[in-house]
Amino acid sequence: MRPRLFRVFCLLSLCSGFVVAYSFARPQTNTGATVLIVGTFHMANRGHDLYNVQADDVLSTKRQQEIAEMSEVLKKFQPTKIAIEADIDDETHVSKQYSEYLAGGYTLSRDETNQIGYRLAKELGHKRVYPVNAWAGNDFPLHRVINYAKANGSATQLQTIVAKWGVAVKELDDYLKTHTILQTLQHANSDAFVRENMNPYFEVARFGDPSDYAGPDLLGNYYLRNIRIYQNIVKLIDSPNEHILVIYGYGHLGWLRQDAQQDASVRLRTLDEFVH
């Protein structure tokens, strides 16, 4: 065998050995575990987003009845754990707050982490709720894209694209005024509304060039944040029988669904499956 061919053969043998070793070293996947991700508007009007739904008071008698209706639907999923949009670094605070709620010493806030997450977890007899929110530095560097668009004569085009998020928010805002919370969340979790929220990201991603990938970097940063969130979610899976319910802002829904759909170790469910 010639020296060069011998070196190639040795390299291939080494790589094969590595692949075999790696396959044995990998942890078992949790095939069969089920995830339901429910996208919601921020019930306490957090006001942290570019455009925000202006929710009416969820503590009103009417909305409390609707939240009770929502809880009954989610119980059909039979959640074993409930994940909420609270920073994972605040786990100690969340645990303390939830424990106080179980003991009758804490009154639920208007936030969906409380109104859906805490309330449902207590009704199901759960001892914990799980914060899974993560960050990726500046996960929405829109100013950089704006500066790029201005420098390249496309500021008006960018404004038109960004305004699409505002249109979607107004659509949901108007919907909430004339529908129940369950109906509104059905709308927010529909495939059409999810696409409506995701599509502008890909349009923004076109603003850039090899000297400044402003748009692609915005999309990449937001994706990075969501894949970190997704990792926090799937790390809650301890067995194939796990049913993980995730309560999250609807702007993350499409990305988290996409992650779950591509993950062979989980089964993704949708809200509509449990409404009827």
Instruction: Take residue 254 and report the two structure tokens written for it.
Output: 């499409």
> Could you report the per-residue pLDDT of 194-239, keeping only the tens digit for each?
999 999 999 999 999 999 999 999 999 999 999 999 999 999 999 9
Nearest to 205 by CA among 192, 197, 214, 193: 214
Q: In the chain, what are the domain boundaries?
A: 32-276
pLDDT the model gives residue 53: 85
What residue type is 274 in one-letter code?
F
Q: What is the DSSP string of the chain?
A: --HHHHHHHHHHHHHHHHHHHHHHHSPPP-TTEEEEEEEE--TT----SSS------TTSHHHHHHHHHHHHHHHTT--SEEEEEEEGGGHHHHHHHHHHHHTT-----SSHIIIIIIHHHHHTT-S--EEEE---SSS--HHHHHHHHHHTT-HHHHHHHHHHHHHHHHHHHHHHHHS-HHHHHHHHTSHHHHHHHHHHHHHHTTS-BTTB-HHHHHHHHHHHHHHHHHHHHHTT--STT-EEEEEEEGGGHHHHHHHHHH-TTEEEE-THHHH-
Residue that wins the pLDDT comparison between 107 and 23: 107
Q: Of the given ranges (24-33, 155-164, 175-184, 194-203), which has the lowest mean pLDDT? A: 24-33
- Residue 3 in this model has a pLDDT that exceeds 90: no
Task: Assess contact for 228 and 252: CB atoms under 8 A.
Answer: no
- Token pair of 1 as six digits: 């065998």
Neighbours of 4 (CB within 10 A): 8
Which residues pair with residue 267 across a beta bridge? 34
Distance CA 263, CA 276 (A): 27
Q: How far apart are CA 205 and CA 219, in angstroms?
A: 6
Q: What average pLDDT does range 64-73 have in this prediction?
A: 98
The residue that leads in pLDDT, 16 or 219, is 219
Judged against a pLDDT cut of 90, whether residue 32 lies above it is answered with no
Instruction: Give me the pLDDT at residue 19, please.
Output: 40
Using CA atoms, how far residue 190 sits from 2, 109, 155, 216, in Å, is: 62, 27, 31, 26
Give the pLDDT of residue 237.
Answer: 98
183 token code pair = 């109906």
Stated pTM of the model: 0.87
* The predicted structure's pLDDT at residue 31: 55
d(CA 98, CA 96) in angstroms, rounded, equals 6
Decide if pLDDT at 8 tops 90: no
